[in-house]
Chain A
């Protein structure tokens, strides 16, 4: 056994050892750290320079990485001035259907525009085979999908617009509010005979309440699935592609299964969009519509909207005609409701005119729901749920998801290489995973 003095000596020596070593470590670190940094950047440049040209690279850390097991590491690249130029991902990617086939990729994404700056596979043979893919993708925005193999919708693909559209801005709103006192409206812009902009939102009868899109983003308005604002965006985006509300394949329950990320009832959107399209054919612009609804309110209520304080900041009349159904309801001979008049039709009646073509549109109220069998809308929509009029069977599934991303978010479509489909598909998955990471990391809103 050690004596007391021996223990003292031992402890003193051990402490001395610790102090000397600490001094050596800190001194050594200060001496060598500059060299280590330079060496590290040299290694990064050598490793990542082919996929993203940058002056320096910094690894990204954070809990978000835990949600992406395929990502080994992510780096942000900077130029000489220290301005970020892009991201480099180091990934090991496998297909969900075949976990055994794995490839290691390095991909580069531009900082500002999310465009592809480079692709490299660590397997040199595969890398050579993917040269074509890399050259195709360079400068293209992510996420990416194959044109034929994974989807039937493409940004490049053109859908015939509805005939007879006149250029201008058109608008339609519901005449009654929903349970949350929101009044839906759709605004549509036509240019060159095509729908070029669509906005679906709703303002509230209570003017202190924000619009539905903002309310959904702030959490004040919640529905199942994605935020209402995101769903609204997705359905508008789909209509821009498809150019015809009938192609949205709305089912009898008001939902659609062909637009990813949209689970809400789109009946109101489809009806108001059709109303806008009809207005466009007739040249009945937004200004005329707002003027007409102003007149309808005045003649129905006996005072002006401004006097009653029902005009909101955006200039829309935040009022529900629920208590005056005779204004907008079409009754048959037996006195049963069989449809609803549009603002244009109500205005025509007020003018003492009779329109050639009656366009039954929206605004179903709980008290007066038309019989779906007799509803002329079904004839336009098609007899079966989700059926797309005038399209082949393949085209009926207009959207799908790729790598858990809704097709509405896909920015680039490419043709898959015939000789290395699996490898190319894995590379696409790598890019899409990178996109999802950036979306989560940077809190992108789509």
Chain B
């Protein structure tokens, strides 16, 4: 009897009936796997506090999402458990300074989870990247709690004091003093997991292999950064119109992490080539301009949120333009 009722229920489910290997849990699992190199980097350079901070962000983000879903009455319909919360929590932890206190991390998590994700309808419905929004929120609201980066190294492996008290000595460094080996291996003071360009690129390679990334925006982002860097240099330093410090900027500022894990995101970035390319370009331009006037972390993340906001408009416009010459109302499946 109950089986008949279940069959009946199944029969009245609405479309779409799309079955694919690359469903949401798969994509988020791939994203988490791609961030494993960065997590290992964080654990190696910053020790126990990095591991605790990462676990804390992942767990609290997941719990916050589950709780809000329960309160909003969206859960309990037998839907699968997606891993978007865990991936957002992990991404957020990796872009926090190593000396972030747990209370600061929790603030970022709650903002990212509730304000930017759950209020807009939960997984897949968020307009902006929750991790970037949470991180930017604490930068703007609690600037002294995330005022810079600390040196990594084996000496601080077991230091847990900062998890409670935060750090008083953090600062944004001048990375032009760093040698290339330091820059490429992430052996300089940076965010918890985003400082090592090698690890980020390794994760990006994994995403490409697994087909869980759109490359339009990241590529246009890198190209625009490269082309317009001299102009930004002039704005930021007021002295030279050239590529002085270009390598240091590209490898130390976190733009590689932004390109791979934020601009390649399937949820918050435009799905079409033209729109994605345009969004990447705009993001890069904003970053280059803002780095002359605001804190490095703000200059890095505010442009991401800006293009996140405009991505659905861009997608809509590009779809309309592409359909202008079509005779029928066929669905564009590209």
Point out the residue from A2, A10, A26, A43 that lies within 8 Å of B33, measured CB to CB.
A10
Give the chain A neighbours of B36 by CB distance below 8 A. Answer: 14, 17-18, 21
Q: Which of A10, A39, A69 contacts B177 (CB 8 A)?
A: A39
Interface string of A9-27 (1 = CB under 8 A from B): 0100110011011101110
Inter-chain contact A28/B33, CB cutoff 8 Å = no
Query: Contacts of A307 on B, CB cut-off 8 Å?
Result: none
The reply to whether A32 and B21 contact each other, CB–CB distance below 8 Å, is no
* Contact in complex: B37, A39 (CB < 8 Å): no
Which residues of chain B are within 8 angstroms of A61 by Cβ–Cβ distance? 156, 159, 161
A355 interfacial by beta-carbon distance below 8 Å? no
Q: Is A40 an interface residue (CB 8 A)?
A: yes
Flag whether A6 is at the interface (Cβ < 8 A): yes
Which of B23, B29, B182, B186 is the most central at the interface, judged by chain A CB atoms within 10 Å of its CB? B182
Query: A6-B21, A17-B37, A43-B177 given as contacts; is B44 within 8 A of A29 (CB)?
Result: yes
The answer, among B178, B184, B206, for a CB contact under 8 Å with A28, is B184
Interface readout for B169-181 with A: 1 if CB under 8 Å, 0 if not?
1000100011101
Name the CB-closest residue of B to A42.
B177
Q: Is the CB of B161 within 8 A of A32?
A: no
A217 interface hit (Cβ, 8 Å): no
> Min CB distance, B50 to chain A, in Å?
12
- How many angstroms between the C-alpha atoms of A69 and B167 in the bound complex? 10
Give chain B residues whose Cβ lies under 8 Å from the Cβ of A31.
181, 185
| A39 with B182: CB separation less than 8 A | yes
Q: Do A32 and B179 touch (CB < 8 A)?
A: yes
Do B206 and A13 touch across chains, with their CB atoms under 8 A apart?
Answer: yes
Contact bitstring A28-68, B, C-beta under 8 A = 1, else 0? 11011101100110110000000000000000010101100
Instruction: Return B251 CB to nearest CB of chain A, in Å.
Output: 12
Residue contact A36 to B188, C-beta cutoff 8 Å: yes
A17, B33: Cβ atoms under 8 Å? yes
B64: CB under 8 A from chain A? Answer: no
Known contacts being A17-B37, A18-B40, A25-B199, is A39 close to B184, with CB within 8 Å? no
Question: Given contacts A18-B36, A66-B161, are A28 and B26 in contact (CB under 8 A)?
Answer: no
A1 on interface, CB distance cutoff 8 Å: yes
CB pair A28–B187 under 8 Å, yes or no, is: yes
Does A365 make an interface contact (CB < 8 A)?
Answer: no
Q: Which residues of chain B come closer than 8 Å to A28, judged between CB atoms?
A: 181, 184-187, 196, 198
The answer to whether A17 and B178 have CB atoms under 8 Å apart is: no
B111 at the interface (CB under 8 A from A): no
| Total contacting residues, chain A, CB less than 8 A | 35
Most chain A CB inside 10 Å of its own CB: which residue of B151, B159, B181, B187: B187
Question: Please, what's the 1-or-0 string for B182-205, where 1 marks a CB less than 8 Å from any CB in chain A?
Answer: 101111100000001011001100
Q: A18-B40, A66-B161 are in contact. Are A90 and B169 (CB under 8 A)?
A: yes
**Nearest chain B CB to A337's CB is how many angstroms away?**
61
Partner among A1, A24, A73 whose Cβ is within 8 Å of the Cβ of B199: A24
Tell me how far the C-beta of B182 lies from the nearest C-beta in chain A, rounded to whole angstroms: 5
- Are B185 and A20 touching (Cβ within 8 A)? no
- The main secondary structure of chain A at its interface with chain B is helix
In the complex, which residues of chain A have a beta carbon less than 8 angstroms from the beta carbon of B165? 66
**Nearest residue in B to A43 (C-beta to C-beta)?**
B177
In this complex, the member of A17, A42, A66, A90 whose beta carbon has the largest number of chain B beta carbons within 10 angstroms is A17
Contact B188 A10 (CB under 8 A): no
| Cross-interface CB contact of B151 among A6, A32, A40, A65, cutoff 8 Å | A40
A35 touches B181 (CB 8 A): yes
Q: Are A21 and B185 in contact (CB under 8 A)?
A: no
A263 CB within 8 Å of chain B? no
* B-facing residues in A152-182 (Cβ within 8 Å): none
A69 smallest CB distance to B (angstroms): 8
Contact of A39 among B178, B185, B209 (CB under 8 A): B178
- The interface residues of chain A lying within 8 Å CB-to-CB of B21 are 1-2, 6
- Which one of B23, B159, B173, B179 lies within 8 Å of A35 (CB-CB)? B179
Q: Is the CB of B182 within 8 A of A35?
A: yes
Flag whether A72 is at the interface (Cβ < 8 A).
yes
Closest to B33 in A: A14
Does A71 belong to the interface (CB within 8 Å)?
yes
Max chain B CB contacts within 10 Å: which of A25, A40, A43?
A25
- Neighbouring B residues of A20 by C-beta, 8 Å: 37, 202
C-alpha spacing A71/B165, complex, angstroms? 13
Q: Is the CB of B23 within 8 A of A1?
A: yes
Q: Chain A nearest CB: distance from B62 CB in Å? A: 19
Report the Cα distance A63→B161, complex, angstroms.
8
Say if the beta carbon of B41 comes within 8 Å of chain A.
yes
Nearest CB of B to A284, in Å:
59
Specify which chain B residues have a CB less than 8 angstroms from the CB of A63 in the assembled complex.
161
Q: Contact between B169 and A32 (Cβ–Cβ < 8 Å)? A: no
Whether A36 contacts B40 in the complex (CB less than 8 A), given A14-B33, A21-B199, A43-B177, comes out as: no
Contact A17 B26 (CB under 8 A): no
A21 touches B151 (CB 8 A): no
A21 touches B187 (CB 8 A): no
Is B74 close to A, CB under 8 A? Answer: no
Nearest CB of B to A107, in Å: 15
Q: Is the beta-carbon distance between B168 and A73 smaller than 8 angstroms?
A: yes
Scoring A26, A32, A73 by chain B CB atoms within 10 A of each residue's CB, the highest score goes to A32
A39 and B179 CA atoms in complex are apart in Å by 8
Question: Which of B23, B168, B198 has its CB near the most chain A CB atoms (within 10 A)?
Answer: B168
A 52-96 to B, binary, CB cutoff 8 A, 1 in contact else 0: 000000000101011001011100000000000000001010000
Set of chain B residues within 8 Å of A39, measured between Cβ atoms? 177-179, 182, 188
Q: Is the CB of A25 within 8 A of B40?
A: yes
- Per-position binary interface string of chain B over residues 29-52, scored 1 when its CB falls under 8 Å from any chain A CB and 0 otherwise: 110011011001100110000000
Identify the interface centre among A6, A24, A72: most chain B CB within 10 Å of its CB. A24
List of B residues within 8 angstroms of A66 by Cβ? 161, 165
**CB neighbours of B41 from chain A (8 A):** 21, 25
Q: Tell me the minimal C-beta distance from B28 to chain A in angstroms.
A: 13
Q: Please list the 10 inter-chain residue pairs (A to B) with the smallest Cβ-Cβ separation, ordered nearest first.
A: A28-B185, A21-B37, A73-B169, A32-B181, A14-B33, A32-B187, A72-B168, A36-B187, A72-B169, A32-B182
Q: A24-B202, A25-B44, A28-B196 are in contact. List 7 more A-B contacts (CB 8 A).
A: A1-B21, A17-B37, A21-B41, A21-B199, A28-B185, A29-B45, A32-B179
Please list the residues of chain B having a beta carbon within 8 angstroms of any beta carbon in chain A: 21, 23, 26, 29-30, 33-34, 36-37, 40-41, 44-45, 151, 153, 156, 159, 161, 165, 168-169, 173, 177-179, 181-182, 184-188, 196, 198-199, 202-203, 206, 209
A-B pairs with beta carbons under 8 Å apart, 27 shown: A2-B26, A13-B206, A14-B33, A14-B206, A17-B203, A17-B206, A20-B202, A21-B36, A21-B202, A24-B198, A25-B44, A25-B186, A26-B44, A28-B184, A28-B186, A29-B44, A33-B153, A35-B179, A35-B181, A36-B178, A39-B179, A39-B188, A43-B173, A61-B161, A66-B161, A73-B169, A90-B169
